[in-house]
Amino acid sequence: MRFYWKTLILGMLQLIGWSQAASPASAFIFESRGMKLQRELVETKAGPIWAMTFLPDGGLLMTLKSGEIKRYDLEKKTFASIGNVPGVAVFGQGGLLDVVLSPNFAKDRKVFLSYSKQIANGEYTTALGVGTIDGKSLRDFREIFVARGSSSRGEHFGGRIVVEPDALWLSVGERGVRENAQDLTNHLGKILRLTWDGKPHADNPFTGRKDALPEIYSFGHRNPQGLVKHPVTGEIWAHEHGPRGGDEINIIKKGFNYGWPKATFGREYWGPAIGQPRIPGTEDPIHQWTPSIAPCGMIIYNGEALPGWKGLVIAGSLAKTHLNLTEIRNNQMVAEERLFAKDGLRVREVEQGPGGDVWYATDDGSLFRIRRM
């Protein structure tokens, strides 16, 4: 009887895109875009990494959803915990989210963190703060921004950060309440542009309007969990989760409406359409995935170590359990490659290492590095 129920449950999970993870080899040789590459399994007990960033000394700083920050020594292959991390609300998909260094980190030692926060009414929202890394401790941490709008639901916090010398970008999900994405009186379902103090950027599109919040740069987003500055064009690119289908890659434009939930290629999980794929007054994605891959983490590769990957959008896939390589030309997808799907591991985060290798982390606590042979 136990075997019957286990088999039945596994079968149902596989129908919705879940599979049992295979144990990946410690070293795996493969070919991609004319290159012979090796994937190395660096660690298996890193913990469920949500985000990571490389330090100037070559160390790797990582956040865990549970509220921890760890530093990984690449040479010694050892972890050290960073102390004095602020408390976060670990709730549903929320917890400690992104970590991004100041462009002047070698001098100011500043790191920016996003996280979920419980507010006075017992609901939750997305927040942003900054502190200074001092050895094995985070000091002088201060919260600089709390998104207006909240929900008791546990999904869609967004939380990706881009730091520029004169601006901070923050993605905020609509918290599972669709109408928020079109409502300019809250920050949910938006991409925001702020100053380093968490104030509205002076050049934002809705500055001076009484019916819109001044921090908003674009709206109509569902749950953006990829946000990067394009290394060549300087544009801000994002990807976001659709529902059943309709995951998107977007180039973020000032004041534009990206449609959710009115314009979407996605459908209700039980089948019916939600909106129209395209409607006037909204910006079409430059690429959309149907069925959903559930993208999370994102880089646009600009290193020399892997020349065949130069310019590709590289993202993790949670639902389809692979590393996704997408080639975009003239704002259209022209090629896609899906790597390591047979592992069955949910890929949460992707980063480009200081030497140009690609690193990625999975929800089971594994950390991988890809290099050219």
Residue 359, H or E segment = strand 358-362
- Give 65's contacts (C-beta < 8 A, 6+ positions apart): 48, 50, 90, 94, 95, 96, 97
Residue 6 DSSP code? H
Output the CA–CA distances (angstroms, integers) from residue 13 to 10, 20, 156, in the order listed: 5, 9, 22
Instruction: Give the angle 231-233-239 at the CA atoms, nearest 5°.
Output: 70
Alpha helices per DSSP H over the chain = 2-15, 105-108
**DSSP secondary structure string for all residues of 125-142:** EEEEEEEEEETTEEEEEE
d(Cα 229, Cα 242) in Å, to the nearest integer?
Answer: 22
Output the CA–CA distances (angstroms, integers) from residue 6 to 1, 21, 166, 331, in the order listed: 9, 16, 54, 45
- Which residues share a beta bridge with 83? 137
Q: Catalytic site residue 156?
A: yes
Instruction: Give the CB-side neighbour count of residue 281, counting CA atoms within 13 A.
Output: 6
d(Cα 287, Cα 364) in Å, to the nearest integer?
Answer: 29
Find the catalytic residue in 156, 187, 241, 322: 156
d(Cα 73, Cα 118) in Å, to the nearest integer?
Answer: 33
Strand-pair category, 137-146 with 190-194: unpaired
Residues in the chain: 373
Hey, which residues are catalytic here? 156
